[in-house]
Amino acid sequence: MTLGYVGFYVLPVLDPHNALGHVALTTGIFLLYVTGAYAARNIQHGKAFAVLVGFGLLYRLLLFPIEPSMSDDYHRYIWDGKVQAHGYNPYIYPPESDVLIHLKDPLYHNSINHPYLHSIYPPTSQWVFLLGYLSSSQSAMGLKAWLFLADLFTIFLLALFLKRRCRPPGYLLFYLWCPIPIIETMLDAHIDALAPPFLIAALLLAQRRRPYLTGAMMALAIMVKPLPIFLVPVLLWHFRWRRAFQCLLAMAIVGFLGYLPYLQAGPSMFVSIIRYSRHWHINGPFFKFFSQWYVSGDIRMVLGLVTIGVALIAPFLRLSLERRLLVPLAGYLMLTPTVYPWYFVWLAPFLAMTPTPWLFWFAGTISLVHTVHYFSSINGVWLLPGFLVCIEYIPIFLMIVVQAVPFFLRPWLRRWREQRWDRKAQPPPRIAPNETTF
The percentage of residues in the chain with a pLDDT greater than 90, rounded to a whole number, is 71
CA of 209: how far to CAs of 203, 206, 213, 240, in Å? 10, 5, 9, 11
pTM of the shown model:
0.90
Residues 324 and 136: their CA atoms lie apart, in Å, by 40
The 3-state DSSP class for residue 283 equals strand
The gap between the terminal CA atoms of the chain, to the nearest Å, is 79
pLDDT of residue 431: 52
Please provide residue 282's backbone torsions phi and psi, each rounded to the nearest 5 degrees. Answer: -170, 135
Q: What is the pLDDT of residues 169-196, one digit of tens each?
A: 999 999 999 999 999 999 999 999 999 9
Q: Where are the domains of the chain?
A: 2-415
Residues 365 and 387: their CA atoms lie apart, in Å, by 12
- For 147-201, the DSSP string reads HHHHHHHHHHHHHHHHHHTT--GGGGHHHHT-HHHHIIIIIT--GGGGHHHHHHH
pLDDT of residue 438: 36
Residues in the chain predicted with pLDDT less than 70, given as ranges, are 15-17, 418-438
| Residues recorded for the chain | 438
pLDDT of residue 437: 41
Residues 348 and 56: their CA atoms lie apart, in Å, by 14
Cα angle at 434 between 430 and 438, to 5 degrees?
A: 70
pLDDT of residue 429: 57
pLDDT of residue 138: 83
Mean of per-residue pLDDT scores for the chain? 90
CA of 389: how far to CAs of 26, 48, 285, 370, 385, in Å? 17, 39, 7, 12, 7
pLDDT of residue 415: 72
Q: What is the pLDDT of residues 9-42, one digit of tens each?
A: 888 777 656 788 889 999 999 999 999 999 999 9
pLDDT of residue 423: 61
